[in-house]
Structure 1
């Protein structure tokens, strides 16, 4: 994917994630918020070297540069949300294989990994993301502000939970930890996460 970057269609219909993520939330989140990041990003990269880069490359090269803050904010959020929607495709599945083995090694148990993702997300002040990532051969959680992600920090994203209020407020109000827990248990396709881990090792 190179500029002009386009909003991908959801890999399922807008009722697929209900009741954890309701239809109205999906419509607003994907059709309004996610679409806006693309609409703002394209004029910022037009006519620059970044217009020939992939979205992932734009995220990497723009992070931490004051003059490219607008580019990063929108590229990061555009990329994050593509990842976010895709991790739910195929339906919820259990943690198994290498992912289970590493969760037990790095977090003590699969439940320990889930708790870490929930606690990391609950601890993000304001808007941001709770990520499970592979960093230096270990599974870690990363709580980041705004549109940051593990790519910006030299790690591999494996699972990402959006903790901006637009992601959960219609369905969970201020109960962010409950939302994260339900997304992890009822929506994430952990087989897909495991495949990403295997590819990165």
Structure 2
């Protein structure tokens, strides 16, 4: 019987920082990636408590959900059941992709938190200045209604950087992700309560622009 493909996961993942997702029915399982720094390394801007909960609980939940959905998918050839599993695959697969990218998107304050090279030149060209980019990124990300993500993405058709948002855990597939900011409450509420602008202003102290620069170089 016909087996449905899952382009949402595979297309988005080709340029993400997470591990390549295996095809449905593959023997390997998705696993929680290790952080490239200690849980308290982003303080005082993102607390150790938030990082532990965000990584060990929330991201782990997406990994578990993705593995469970893929296992169910691999065991059925019924098209209706495969269609019914699409939302779980998209949500948990997107959560795994987005968070795997997000952890490498961050670095301890004072290490690699200023753009340089080709990325800096592109930010100045497309937004006027680095500060203007940060302001525009914060405004658009803060305007996300409910849960979602703010992205700096590279538009391969227009060959320029653009700010876009995605709802829930939808991965960015229209652009190559360069920087992603998690605007779900679990990313900031314990520390910043409901004041999203404070979280967005603070996160630039721990954005890993060295990693973002590598993504930009690869995209261009």
Q: CA deviation at 1:47?
A: 6.2
Query: How many residues matched?
Result: 183
Deviation at 1:149, TM superposition (A): 2.7
Alpha-carbon shift at residue 117 of structure 1 (Å): 1.1
Alignment partner, residue 149 of structure 1: 171
Secondary structure, aligned partner of 2:164: strand
Residues 123, 143 of structure 1: 8 Å contact kept: no
Question: SS at 2:41's partner residue?
Answer: coil
User: How far apart are 1:92 and its partner, in Å?
Assistant: 3.5
Contact 2:36-2:103 at 8 Å conserved across structures? yes
Task: Report what 1:31 is aligned to.
Answer: 56
Q: Which has the higher helix share?
A: 1
- Displacement of 1:48: 4.5
SS in 2 for 1:46: helix
Structure 2 match to 1:138: 160
Q: Does the CA contact (< 8 Å) of 2:98 and 2:171 recur in 1? A: yes
Give the unaligned 5+ runs of structure 2.
1-19, 23-27, 75-82
Tell me, yes or no, if structure 1 residue 9 matches structure 2 residue 34.
Answer: yes
CA distance in 2, matches of 1:34, 1:141: 24
Are residues 1:68 and 2:93 paired?
no
Q: Which has the larger radius of gyration?
A: 2
Moved more, 100-109 or 82-91: 82-91
Matched with 2:99 is 81
Aligned to 1:198: 217
Contact in 2 for aligned 1:127/1:145 (Cα 8 Å): yes
Could you tell me which runs of 5 or more consecutive residues in structure 1 were left unpaired when the two chains were aligned. Answer: 50-64
Secondary structure of 2:179's partner?
strand
Query: How do 1:86-97 and structure 2 match up within 5 A?
Result: 86-89=104-107, 91-97=111-117
Q: Is the 8 A contact 2:150 2:182 kept in 1?
A: yes
Say whether the 8 Å CA contact 2:113–2:210 is kept in structure 1.
yes
TM (norm. structure 1) is: 0.85
User: How much has 1:102 moved relative to structure 2?
Assistant: 1.1
Aligned equivalents of 1:149, 1:13: Cα separation in 2: 26
Alignment equivalent of 2:131, drawn from 111, 119, 141: 111
The alpha carbon displacement at 1:89 in A equals: 3.7
